[in-house]
Amino acid sequence: MSTPYPESPRGDHADVYRDAEGREVRVPDPYRWLEDPDSPETRRWVQAQNERTEDFLSALPARAAYRERLTALWDYPRDGLPWERGGRYFRSFNPGLLAQPVLQTADSPSGPWRDLLDPNGLSGDGTVALMGASVSRDGARLAYATQSGGSDWLTWQVRDVASGQDVGGPLRWSKFSGAAWLPDGSGFFYSAYDAPGEGEALTGANRNQRLMFHRLGSAQGADELVLQRPDQPDWGFSADVTDDGAWLVVQVWLGTSPKNLLWVRPLGEHGPGSGDFQPLVDDFRAMFQVVGNDGDTLYLHTDEDAPLGKLTAWNIRTGERRDLIAQGVDKLEQVLTVPGGFLTVTLHDASHRLTLHDRAGQRQREIELPTLGTVMVSARQSSPEVFVAFTSFLQPTRPYRLELPGGALEPLADPALNFDAGAYEVTQEFAVSPDGTRVPMFIVARKGAPRDGSNRTLLYGYGGFGISLTPAFSASRLAWLERGGVFVQANLRGGGEYGESWHEAGTLRQKQNVFDDFAACAEHLTRQGWTRPERLAIQGGSNGGLLVGASITQRPELFGAAVAQVGVLDMLRYHLFTIGWAWASDYGRSDDPDMFATLLAYSPLHNLTEGTRYPATLITTGDHDDRVVPAHSYKFAAELQRVQSGEAPTLIRIQTRGGHGAGKPTALLIEEAADIWAFLEGALAGEAATEASFLP
């Protein structure tokens, strides 16, 4: 590049690991100093990198055009999925360009709506976001959680719905938690950690979660400890209360594994109950989720002996179990108990189906959806009124009301969008991975797009933790489509699209399958004439950032550009920070000799090699990311800048007061998207991306 990168001094630090044969292996870590996010050296490096990146991006002719168009595309009303409590209705709503959506309430699902909680007044820069909301059964109290600057740390408070005034809290140092109210509204359960020590809030490991009960009107210091297991510091606790108010149900989780324990105990008349929990499931053998109950019979959504999922009835008193909905040909993704039956959400080739069953599990009917897409459902066991939100690649999220058992979807809003969706189409194709596995992908393109290899194409993927990538709307991607781009979303192993077997096929020693699937998709797009390598970019975030990092280190010749966002890029040390240890069920750990070699073989940071021409790469992170700490991106950027033998740029964009992504204000989302699209458009303009090729 014509302008040099900021200096990234290399130290002589190295770690010693042990492999499966018991041999010691020394692995250098020359950028260890970048793991301290608050050191003067790191702060100077961040500032210098941001200045270098800004100099580059500000020269891109497409940047201003993207910002203008993205602002217009984002400016449409976004109605969230409603839910009902005590005859009151609640939803999130953004009229267009507010930094954060507003929580609203009404006496009818069709409105009129009034603001209940506007987080836009909680900070001057819009970086305090509403990240959790739970309403008591009578609709009188709202427990809500806010985050600041993108951090995963939550602060809970209580608001009176009628007056709109706060009447309780704050409850601090909560993470990975909801709020489950007692039936009488006198208090709720939530999960919390000990306050971190000085300097540990952003990087310290999160262990020893405890389940607490907060009674309204009391201070946090008086909260009752419900559950803690110091002998199992990695266990976490997620509480729920059955619809009839009889049982406290606790899912015990261990990291990000879908397998959990399941404990129950009776609730007291006006309190959280007492005594020992009854362990219904006392080993981590499968996923068990309570979706409803009739008295002592719990309805459980589980994948025990059913990788695609099933619904089971389990009597707590007698231990009797029987299957109500057996495993089918499609993944059973969600079950909701409704009067007289169950609503199921299934996945067929990565798009949703919505079906009604009776209480015996017999299929009654399928609810017709607008097209291939994604549904979100809000339902209560005691109410025939159901709310459904539907979205697809070309359709913004739209809420519907559904009256059971025989009703059809009734639209509650019609978002007006300044975009000609009719000019585009969504198709699905299948690549074939090296081991013969068929890998689906959705392709979004202008109708009649040529198949001559000329299309600027973005391939997006994730492939981890059983997360399914289904069709979803993004205003940002519309700008890419309008300027001639093609968007492709790949459904890789490691995800949940085809159940737990599909997930496990992309974990631990089989993690390489994920990267092979992604490469197979890239090769398929080239072979079918959608694009060619120098016109193909890849993008992914978090675990998807790992996907991008591994892809460009393993197959740099397949891609013309790459965007790695908040990526897990140092596979030898990821488990040492914040909640990183929880990802070991997918990745394994480097301190396990049997997994060390596997991790080292694909860790993006450790597989950058001198003399290699890597594609143009933009790395993004937030300096307050306390999930995937920014050191991953910092170290990877420093090393990639050092070893890049071609002229393609390597840039890192570091959002200050930014975290992993959730709760990011609208203006910052638009700025980031404009930078990414402008970077990709420049990178894919010529036969080989160089700094000069980005300029007019």
Below-70 pLDDT ranges, the chain: 1-2, 660-661, 686-696
Using CA atoms, how far residue 668 sits from 126, 256, 302, 662, in Å, is 9, 29, 39, 12
Confidence at residue 31, expressed as pLDDT on a 0 to 100 scale: 98
**CA angle (677, 683, 685) in 5-degree steps:** 100
Per-residue model confidence as pLDDT tens digits over 242-285:
999 999 999 999 999 999 999 999 997 777 877 889 999 999 99
**Catalytic residue selected from 214, 301, 606, 660:** 660
Per-residue model confidence as pLDDT tens digits over 32-78:
999 999 999 999 999 999 999 999 999 999 999 999 999 999 999 99
Q: Which residue has the tokens 């950032």?
A: 545
Confidence at residue 2, expressed as pLDDT on a 0 to 100 scale: 56
Confidence at residue 303, expressed as pLDDT on a 0 to 100 scale: 98
Is 542 designated active site?
yes
Confidence at residue 272, expressed as pLDDT on a 0 to 100 scale: 85
CA–CA distance, 617 with 652 (Å, rounded to integer): 8
Query: In 153-165, which positions are buried (b, 16+ CB within 10 angstroms) versus exposed (e)?
Result: bbbbbbbebeeee
In single-letter form, the type of residue at position 659 comes to G
Per-residue model confidence as pLDDT tens digits over 291-344:
999 999 999 999 999 999 999 999 999 999 999 999 999 999 999 999 999 999
**Catalytic residue selected from 392, 542, 590, 633:** 542
Query: Phi first, then psi: what are they for 430, rounded to 5°?
Result: -130, 125
In single-letter form, the type of residue at position 597 comes to A
Residues near 21 by Cβ (< 8 Å), separated by ≥ 6? none
Residue ranges and CATH numbers for the domains of the chain are 14-71+419-694 (3.40.50.1820), 77-195+207-411 (2.130.10.120)
Using CA atoms, how far residue 2 sits from 50, 151, 595, 610, 690, in Å, is 17, 36, 42, 19, 10
Confidence at residue 27, expressed as pLDDT on a 0 to 100 scale: 98
Confidence at residue 275, expressed as pLDDT on a 0 to 100 scale: 82
C-alpha neighbours within 13 Å on the C-beta side of residue 173: 18
Confidence at residue 691, expressed as pLDDT on a 0 to 100 scale: 66
Torsion of CA 322, 326, 332, 337, to 10 degrees: -40
Is 606 designated active site?
no
CA–CA distance, 464 with 494 (Å, rounded to integer): 4
Among 454, 462, 512, CA closest to 484: 454
Helix (H) or strand (E) holding 595, with range, is helix 593-602
Confidence at residue 661, expressed as pLDDT on a 0 to 100 scale: 65
For 299, the 3-state DSSP assignment is strand
Q: Are 489 and 439 in contact (CB under 8 A)?
A: no
Confidence at residue 689, expressed as pLDDT on a 0 to 100 scale: 65
Per-residue model confidence as pLDDT tens digits over 575-597:
999 999 999 999 999 999 999 99
